[in-house]
Amino acid sequence: MDASVLRLWRVRKRHQHLDALLSSTSGDWIIEFRRDDRPLLTWTFPTEADARAQADLRLRDLQRAGWTTHW
């Protein structure tokens, strides 16, 4: 993982894991979701707060679906 990329959270379920990664480029903030270290989905936001809010929303959805947090 690149030093400029911050892992916000990791969840696990049935021997799989999902990560939410935060990075920034030229003023935009990027959230990348990876499943078992493979890119799954990437979203770009104008502010860090917007990116973190979306990651938090997805985390709550995953927890309701039975995924558990794991660092």
What is this structure's pTM? 0.88
Number of structural domains in the chain: 1
Kindly state whether residue 41 falls inside one of the protein's structural domains.
yes
Would 43 be classed as within a structural domain? yes
Token reading at 47: 């502010």
20 part of a folded domain: yes
70 belongs to a structural domain: no
Residue ranges in the chain whose pLDDT is less than 70:
1-3
The pLDDT value given to residue 59: 97
Residue 40 included in any domain:
yes
Residue ranges making up the domain that contains 31: 6-63
SS3 percent helix, strand, coil of the chain, rounded to 5, is 25, 50, 25
Copy the structure tokens of residue 70: 């794991």
Tell me what pLDDT residue 3 has: 57
Asked whether residue 1 is assigned to any structural domain, the reply reads no
pLDDT for position 1: 54
